[in-house]
Structure 1
Amino acid sequence: MNFTDEPILKVINLNKQFGPGCEKCNGSKETLEKNFCPECGTVYACQDISFELYKGEILGVVGESGSGKSTMMECLYFDKEITSGEAYISTYGKGEVNIFSESSQKKRLIKNNVLGKVYQSPMQGLRMNFSSIGNIAEKLISAGNRNVGLMENRGKELLEKVNIPLFRMKEAPKNFSGGMQQRVQIAKALSNNPPILLLDEVTTGLDLSVQANVLDLIKEIQRELGISMIVVSHDLGVIRMLSDRTIVMLNGKIIEKGLTDQILEDPQTAYTQQLVYSLL
């Protein structure tokens, strides 16, 4: 991977707070307990998050529960409004348009054509009562496709890619196991060939053997399609298996970033050292 290329995604000073803030915490973040203001109760979930994602790269984001990594993903996919910040995607508006300041209509366009997301809970990413192929068609229709034959062919192709037997394509995901539901979600997220795929804790709650299958599938898709991915996990084992570079988050901030191997072999902060030692 050539990091001298222009990044496909550039995020600059992304901030997300829950609550109005007060004189004390607005004046200085030093007064916070972790990422929480004891005075007014405001939570600073993301604080000045900046990073780049390159073409064909898997970027890992690791951190404990409450570190802000899932909030960051929700902001990137417009599931939550940001407080402030900028993000640029090279395949959208020549990479010169801050996607966060776009209209809700344009954000929908980005969501349907440029980004794909796989949620930790399949209930968030799938309609459990639709058929599996219907879930994929829904995403295609959102992006403006109207040709039923083409959509059916695309749906079959994707279900085969994620190892869902085609005789079950008319079945609803509510009848599937957790691992199969995640694979249907991945197929749905890939339906419009997005250049960027966001994966949020996709193996949490799955049995180890099922986890391994899902991770192998993600690797295979990335190799085959050359998609750029951001993979969030609290499990460093998952990050080690998938990612080229890694960001470590704690209390809403990035505390360390670098090549994954580098971070695993020579962690710089006490928190990352603790994470790495717990993996050994």
Structure 2
Amino acid sequence: MREQPILEVRNLQKQFGEGCRHCLDPETRQLEKNFCSYCGTVYAVHDVSFDLYPGEVLGVVGESGSGKSTMLQGLYFDTDLASGEVYINEPMLAGQNVLTLSSQQKRYIRNYIYGMVYQNPLDGLKMKFSSIGNIAEKMIAAGSRHVGDIEARSKTLLEDVHIPLRRMKEEPRNFSGGMQQRVQIAKALSNNPPILFLDEVTTGLDLSVQASVLDLIKQIQRELHISMIVVSHDLAVIRMLADRSIVMLNGTIIEKGLTDQILEDPQHEYTQQLVYSLL
């Protein structure tokens, strides 16, 4: 019997603009890539569907503007999606499209079910809080009240992501980009989420720092068996981390399958270009 997905995503849609008679009807839609030249509407995410399984790393690859980060922000409730369905295989949420839940219920999901590591640490960390304070804030938001437990858990997480405890009272704005990403990862893991989102987490980092962050992510996934969605424009990152992958272009999925399969035998012309540029 096949394993049940921990996350089921169906027909996600996100557009910027009102749309017009030239682009609203999918059957008569006239777009340049994902842009309507008549009214200026951009179809950032169009009819995106996939499953994520327990303990799996799913890669989402595509060029800048392909819709991959917008899709992830929609899943994490950072932006509203126009339509679609998302189901989480957790007892409290069984059978419920989480996109239609109240803001309080969505906050619960962000605190207990999801973890998020942003491309820009400014989006995921409070730079004027200490590193340990950032982790504590996430735990308090999820209901933790015992100061000793919060401090012990925060110290363990900082050690796990290789942040020296002598620097735990320092503000992340004093850290390098790689260290900021490590603090973000520690914060995202603070409540043991079963699902972790990673959005371009190595972009802008030096190659040696990229390698250490990727090694850390692999170690965390191996030890904790968290389900991850890893978004990147870099196929080398996806190759290192992802079991399965989807390739996005102009807001839609153009190819999906096992990562090795996509790399060895890409079917779509755009995926072929991506793979050959890696060689």
Partner in structure 2 of residue 26 of structure 1: 24
Instruction: Give the structure 1 partner of residue 75 of structure 2.
Output: 76
Q: Residue 253 of structure 2 corresponds to which residue in structure 1?
A: 254
Q: Does the alignment pair 1:195 with 2:173?
A: no
Say if 2:57 is the partner of 1:55: no
User: Following TM superposition, by how much is the alpha carbon of 1:93 offset from its aligned partner in structure 2, in angstroms?
Assistant: 2.9
Amino acid at match of 2:13: N
d(CA) in 2 for partners of 1:44 and 1:146?
43
- Deviates most, 17-26 or 215-224: 17-26
Aligned counterparts, 1:1-280, within 5 A: 4-28=2-26, 30-91=29-90, 93-280=92-279
Does the Cα contact within 8 Å between 2:59 and 2:229 map onto a contact in 1? yes
Kindly provide the amino acid, as one letter, of the partner of residue 169 in structure 1.
M
**Quick one: structure 1 residues 94 and 81, their matched pair in 2 at CA, closer, same or farther if it must change by over 3 Å?**
closer
- Aligned-pair identity in percent equals 71
Q: Hey, what's the Cα distance between the residues in 1 that align with 2:91 and 2:210?
A: 33
Letter in 1 for 2:11: N
Structure 2-normalised TM-score?
Answer: 0.98
Amino acid in structure 1 at the alignment position of 2:109: I
Partner amino acid, structure 2, of 1:5: E
The CA RMSD over aligned residues, in Å, is 1.0
- Amino acid of the residue matched to residue 201 of structure 1? E
1:94 deviation in Å? 4.7
Tell me by how many angstroms 1:30 deviates: 3.7
Query: What SS does the corresponding residue of 1:25 show, helix, strand or coil?
Result: coil
Tell me, what secondary structure is at the counterpart of 1:27? coil
Question: Structure 1: which 5+ residue stretches go unaligned?
Answer: none
Say if 1:59 and 1:200 are closer, same or farther in 2 by CA, change over 3 A: same
Distance 2:203 2:94 in 1: 33
User: Residue 140 of structure 2 aligns to a residue in which SS?
Assistant: helix
CA distance in 2, matches of 1:228, 1:167: 31
One-letter amino acid matched to 1:191: S
Please give the per-residue CA displacement for 1:174-228, whole angstroms capped at 9, x wherever unaligned.
0000000000000000000000000000000000000000000000000000000
Distance 2:263 2:61 in 1: 12
Provide the rounded CA distance (Å) in 2 between the counterparts of 1:92 and 1:80.
25
* Structure 2 CA distance for aligned equivalents of residues 158 and 84 of structure 1: 37
Q: Given that residues 44 and 251 in structure 2 are in contact (C-alpha distance below 8 angstroms), is that contact kept between their aligned partners in structure 1?
A: yes
The amino acid of 1:207's aligned partner reads D
Q: Which amino acid aligns with 1:12?
A: R
TM-score normalized by the length of structure 1: 0.98
Of the structure 1 ranges 14-23 and 211-220, higher mean CA displacement relative to structure 2 is found in 14-23
SS across alignment from 2:23: helix
Distance of aligned partners of 1:215 and 1:221 in 2 relative to their CA distance in 1, 3 Å threshold: same
CA distance in 2, matches of 1:92, 1:121: 33
Instruction: Decide whether the 8 Å contact of 2:22 with 2:29 is kept in 1.
Output: no
Find the aligned partners of 1:269 and 1:12 in 2 and give their Cα distance: 22
Structure 1 residue ranges (4+ consecutive) displaced by more than 6 angstroms after TM superposition: none
Counterpart amino acid of 1:242? L
Gaps of 5+ in 2: none
* Letter aligned with residue 26 of structure 1: L
